[in-house]
Amino acid sequence: MHIFVGLGNPGSGYARNRHNVGFMAVDEIVRRHGFSSYRGKFHGEVAEGRLGGEKVLVLKPMTYMNNSGRAVQAAMTFYRVPPRDVVVFQDEIDLAAGKLRVKRGGGHGGHNGLRDIHAHIGSDYGRVRIGVGHPGDKDRVAGHVLKDFAKADDDWLSKMLDVIADNADRLIDGDDSGFMNAVALVMNPPRPNKPKPKPESKQQEEEND
């Protein structure tokens, strides 16, 4: 069994905040793959389904971002899931909007939700870091992540959530590189090569003269 954790803050007032993109990502996985309806459990909301032949529990902590670890630890303890089988979907200010990286282990990067999860379960879990951009000044970070996505963000955000949901089974298989490549191909598709002009034949050159 695996646990997918979406990070965010509960309540309609936070629903479109950049800080809630983790909630948005797991909601799309639940919708796309026909998971059960959410129900209250483990200090949060949970839905169950299958990905890649494996059972997956989706968890959205309802404890507010800074206390997310309590919910994650409760679910892990109940199902006896080790940290390596937990994947957390989070907002990441150190990545440009529309960029994504997968990370396993290591530090929390100052993210308050991850900081609390680290305190409860350690660092040996996966993170899907969804870029929301940096405001350019560290004093403006809190206001930036607690503001709604702009309407101009809707196009890339919709594509990002779609491709995350479409390829979520790769995270179960540990194919982090394949997952990131699939996202990159959708978010930054390669430019088509322009056909080179055919060289003129000797006869055409004489006619042009």
Q: What is the pLDDT confidence band of residue 207, given thresholds at 50, 70 and 90?
A: low
Question: The whole model's pTM is what?
Answer: 0.88
SS3 letters across the chain:
CEEEEECCCCCHHHCCEHHHHHHHHHHHHHHHCCCCCCEEECCEEEEEEEECCEEEEEEEECCCHHHHHHHHHHHHHHHCCCHHHEEEEEEECCCCCCCEEEEECCCCCCCHHHHHHHHHHCCCCEEEEEECCCCCCHHHHHHHHCCECCHHHHHHHHHHHHHHHHCHHHHHCCCHHHHHHHHHHHHCCCCCCCCCCCCCCHHHHHHHC
Q: Answer yes or no: 108 catalytic.
A: no
SS3 letters across 86-138:
EEEEEEECCCCCCCEEEEECCCCCCCHHHHHHHHHHCCCCEEEEEECCCCCCH
Q: For 59-70, write each residue's pLDDT tens digit.
A: 999 999 999 999
Q: What pLDDT score does 209 carry? A: 60
What integer best gives the mean pLDDT of the chain? 92
Which CATH topology does 2-208 take? Rossmann fold (3.40.50)
Answer whether residue 198 shows pLDDT above 90: no
CA of 150: how far to CAs of 47, 132, 136, 147, 157, in Å? 29, 11, 17, 9, 10
Q: What pLDDT score does 9 carry? A: 94
Q: Is 94 exposed, middle or buried (0-12, 13-18, 19+ CB in 10 A)?
A: middle
Answer whether residue 115 shows pLDDT above 80: yes
Among the residue ranges 49-63, 65-79, 115-129, 140-154, the one predicted with the least confidence is 140-154
Sign of the Cα torsion 88, 94, 96, 100 reads negative
**Marked catalytic residue, from 2, 19, 111, 144:** 19
Percent share of the chain, pLDDT over 70: 92
Q: For 49-91, write each residue's pLDDT tens digit.
A: 999 889 999 999 999 999 999 999 999 999 999 999 999 999 9
Percent share of the chain, pLDDT over 90: 78
Q: What pLDDT score does 191 carry? A: 74
Question: What is the spatial distance between Cα 183 and Cα 165, in angstroms, rounded to a whole number?
Answer: 10
